[in-house]
Structure 1
Amino acid sequence: MPGAGTGAAPTRADRRARGAVMALFAVNGATYNSLVPRFPALRDGLGLSNTELGTAIAAFPGAALLVGVLAGPLIARLGSGRVAAAVSLVGALLLPLVALAPAWWALAAALFLLGVTDAWTDAAMNAHGLVVQERYGRSIINGLHATWSVAAVGAGLLGAAAAGLGVPVAVHLAVVGAVLAVASALAWRAVLPPEHHYAVVHDGPGLRGVLTSWHTVAPLLAVAGLMVCSGAVEDSSASWGAVYLRDDLGAGAFVAGLPFVAFQTTMTLGRLAGDRVVDRFGPVRVARTGALVAMAALMAALLLAHPWAAVVGWALAGLGVATLFPLAFAAAGTVPGVRAGDGIAVVGFLARLGFLTMPPVIGAIADASSVGTGLLVVPVASLGAAVVAGALRSRPGASTPAASARGGPSAG
């Protein structure tokens, strides 16, 4: 696994770089999630229908699907740390422009550009996180993703409070954007310079070569499959938790909102503890055990068909899948013969394709039968994650960022 470093204590530069990557994860988690509670105000301010608002919002993930994979070549040319900080800064500066959109097309365009920065920052910050992790010689990637989760929840709560207090959207997003821009600029000064990971980001056939060789495509597909399965579990609490409790189980509005809260809380706690657990037991065992826990918890909750059973089931599922996404990104960044940025960008693209298909599948089954029946797809996806967890196993010849930078075996 990544993180098998030289055993030397992290240097001051390494610790500053870790703080910088944590800041970038926090900025990324806070940027889009600051918008989510303000969508009703944006809709009403522009006089949009729900369909028009939904179409504009779709521009955000659409951007990632169209140009997300270009992050790999960009990282190869400029370095993951600098790309992550620079693009993060652009995203923070774009955030207030969303509130200034005069019409539907401008809102969609602003969200499209924000989606580009989100996808590129996502790939670059994960790639740089692997560079820093390797220099630390132990797992830190789960803690970085925990930082993202905390920032996302905090940004959502702040946005909800701003909406409740009647703070204008433009004022709210301008203040948030300014804070995030400062954090991104400070991170730029602390990330590791490109020469620290030049060998890794330039070592490989390039994006076209990656996509035309089965030896590189196969492991990336396996990792992407793990992310799709994990994403099905994560999305289920947000997209279907409240609907299931209200429609099938007759729960009140407060209890119906608890599956999402419970899932996000336990997932964050799992990521905070995840690095120590992964260091002790290894990524494959942790991922497989967690996926099986999620499967058992969700299947039991659906069979019991009680509101509190559902809340507990999703809480255990959040703990179970907490490490899957961080470990998948780490595995994608160390596929032999693949530049870290390319691997992460490709699996991120494939995972997003899967995310787009899962909610409609569950919805179609729900329309034909019930939401509970549709949700049976989710424990099946958890089982799928357990089956493909072997994709996280270290492979002979896997490149490790710090080893390459220091002239190790994979430096070639």
Structure 2
Amino acid sequence: MDPIIAHLRTALTLFFALDGFIFAGWVARIPAIKAQTGASTGDLGLALLGVSAGAVATMMITGRLCQRYGHQSVTVAAAVLMSLSVALPARTHSTLALGLVLLVFGAGYGGLNVAMNSAAVDLVAALRRPVMPSFHAAFSLGGMLGAGLGGLVAGHLSAATQLSVLTVVGLVLTGFAGRALLAHPVPQRPREQPPASGTRPRPHQVREPMHGADVLRGAGGSRQRGEPGKAAARRARRLVSVFGLIALCTAYGEGALADWGALHLKQDLNAHPGIAAAGYSVFAATMTIGRLTGTALLERLGQTRALVAGGATAAAGMLLGALAPTIWLTLIGFAITGLGLANIFPIAIERAGALTGPSGVATASTFGYGGMLCGPPAIGFIADWYTLPIALTTVALLAAIAAAIAYATRHALRPTDG
């Protein structure tokens, strides 16, 4: 591997890990912040929407910022903003102030996610290997480390001290990784365009498989011969929305299990609180394992097959997790769900970025984040109408929908990868 590419990959991996580490560290101190501000549960919920609002609003403009200033510069700037702003919630004493500072924190979080994923898309193209899951595995590992350390020190450090430490760690790592990231530009390739509607490429139009999937070749590098550029661009944008919908289906399940998995184990299956708390940990651990092995999986199956297999696996796992009559079968179901969902989001983000660049990453990320936001309240409403186990089956339904979308659009998404 080219040493420059290797350094860039290491630096970018550190940014993904830092993102997960800081966010999880903040989440671990939410109870302390709630007590500090004197917020009711409802008021805290409204304040926490500040993170979501700031993230979604920033994701919508970060794509344009990346196109103007470059992925790497925006990645470093967003990481600095996120690192500085994570200390602010511990300095507030009202829910209004908390909501306002969380808008800033959410802006850093949303901007970093779009910018570093955009940089990762170009690095994946330069490496000519499907390594996107490894970046998201770093995010998962950083989140597990941040949550674990946050829980360990919660009884020894105040929220203000712990979040200030996160700021220092974030700035130091940003300085270290950012220096390497800014030293060399990530090699970029021309954006891919989908084939004309209802057509498939002839054999002479494709290269050898590149990470399990082919790209079109010909006049202009990526445009189907005789196809108007505007029509190709419209199709590319529609396909980005398709990948965004797939990302939404994945993130819906992740958000639902994070908020409702433990309650299902405790309330519906009478699990011990410690076992109930382990439910999401099992899901997160297998998701991390799935992402660590994602590159090998993609090289073997290709992207479309990986999407279909992942969605089908997650659907089966969640049906078991939601409807199983015993605790251990439920935990096995959660584990299978984590393996199934592991690589769907990284694939969707990478493909959206390959089609239209940072704007594609921003669109797909916004879809995905919307799914994570919609999942928990949707589960709550359905549980009120029916039962929590029935509500959790919607995770299986959306995973199956993601698999069906990937299969139905397989020729348009990746002409020779189906």
TM superposition score category, shorter chain reference = 0.7 to 0.9
Q: TM-score, normalised by structure 1?
A: 0.86
Match of 1:178 in 2: 168
Give how far 1:72 is off: 0.6
* Residue 392 of structure 2 is aligned to residue 375 of structure 1: yes
* Residue 375 of structure 2 is aligned to residue 358 of structure 1: yes
Residue 119 of structure 1 is aligned with which of 96, 110, 113? 110
State how 1:318-329 maps to structure 2 within 5 Å.
318-329=338-349
Percent same amino acid among aligned pairs?
A: 27
1:395–1:37 distance in 2 versus 1, CA, 3 Å: closer
Does the CA contact (< 8 Å) of 2:248 and 2:372 recur in 1?
yes
CA RMSD of aligned residues (A): 2.4
* Residue 51 of structure 2 is aligned to residue 60 of structure 1: yes
* Residue 237 of structure 2 is aligned to residue 217 of structure 1: yes
Does the CA contact (< 8 Å) of 1:328 and 1:392 recur in 2?
no
Question: Which of 290-299 and 151-160 deviates more?
Answer: 290-299
* Residue 337 of structure 2 is aligned to residue 310 of structure 1: no
Match of 1:103 in 2: 94
Could you tell me how far apart the structure 2 residues matched to 1:300 and 1:196 are?
43
Could you tell me how far apart the structure 1 residues matched to 2:236 and 2:164 are?
43
Which secondary structure state, in structure 1, belongs to the residue aligned with residue 354 of structure 2? coil
Could you tell me how far apart the structure 2 residues matched to 1:176 and 1:41 are?
16
Query: Which sections of structure 1, spanning at least 5 residues, go unmatched?
Result: 1-9, 204-208, 398-412
Question: Which of 302-311 and 65-74 deviates more?
Answer: 302-311
1:198–1:380 distance in 2 versus 1, CA, 3 Å: closer
Match of 2:81 in 1: 90
Return the letter of the residue paired with 1:50.
T
Return the letter of the residue paired with 1:298.
M
Does the CA contact (< 8 Å) of 1:20 and 1:191 recur in 2?
yes
Does the CA contact (< 8 Å) of 1:22 and 1:147 recur in 2?
yes
Per-residue Cα deviation, 1:37-80 (whole angstroms, up to 9, x for no partner): 11111111122222222211110011122232100110001111
Per-residue Cα deviation, 1:269-319 (whole angstroms, up to 9, x for no partner): 110011111012101111211211111122234343221111100101101
Residue 341 of structure 1 is aligned with which of 358, 374, 382? 358
Match of 2:35 in 1: 44
Return the letter of the residue paired with 2:347.
L
* Residue 143 of structure 2 is aligned to residue 152 of structure 1: yes
Which secondary structure state, in structure 2, belongs to the residue aligned with residue 240 of structure 1? helix
Match of 1:162 in 2: 153
Give how far 1:322 is off: 0.6
Give how far 1:134 is off: 1.7
Return the letter of the residue paired with 1:305.
P
Specify which structure has the bigger relative contact order, considering alpha-carbon pairs within 8 angstroms and separated by 6 or more residues. 1
Question: Which of 295-304 and 22-31 deviates more?
Answer: 295-304
Could you tell me how far apart the structure 2 residues matched to 1:69 and 1:229 are?
19
Could you tell me how far apart the structure 2 residues matched to 1:155 and 1:280 are?
32
State how 1:189-268 maps to structure 2 within 5 Å.
189-191=179-181, 196-197=186-187, 214-268=234-288
Which secondary structure state, in structure 1, belongs to the residue aligned with residue 87 of structure 2? helix
Return the letter of the residue paired with 1:168.
S
Give how far 1:92 is off: 0.7
Give how far 1:129 is off: 1.0
Does the CA contact (< 8 Å) of 2:254 and 2:372 recur in 1?
no
Question: Which of 186-195 and 379-388 deviates more?
Answer: 186-195
Match of 1:136 in 2: 127
Match of 1:290 in 2: 310
Does the CA contact (< 8 Å) of 1:81 and 1:193 recur in 2?
no
1:373–1:196 distance in 2 versus 1, CA, 3 Å: closer
Does the CA contact (< 8 Å) of 1:20 and 1:190 recur in 2?
yes
1:41–1:300 distance in 2 versus 1, CA, 3 Å: closer
Give how far 1:198 is off: 6.7
Query: Which sections of structure 2, spanning at least 5 residues, go unmatched?
Result: 194-228
Does the CA contact (< 8 Å) of 1:327 and 1:392 recur in 2?
no
Which secondary structure state, in structure 2, belongs to the residue aligned with residue 164 of structure 1? coil
Give how far 1:124 is off: 0.7
Could you tell me how far apart the structure 2 residues matched to 1:156 and 1:115 are?
18
1:198–1:144 distance in 2 versus 1, CA, 3 Å: closer
Return the letter of the residue paired with 1:179.
V
Question: Which of 171-180 and 268-277 deviates more?
Answer: 171-180
Does the CA contact (< 8 Å) of 2:239 and 2:413 recur in 1?
no
Which secondary structure state, in structure 2, belongs to the residue aligned with residue 333 of structure 1? helix
Does the CA contact (< 8 Å) of 1:248 and 1:370 recur in 2?
no
Residue 278 of structure 1 is aligned with which of 298, 307, 327? 298
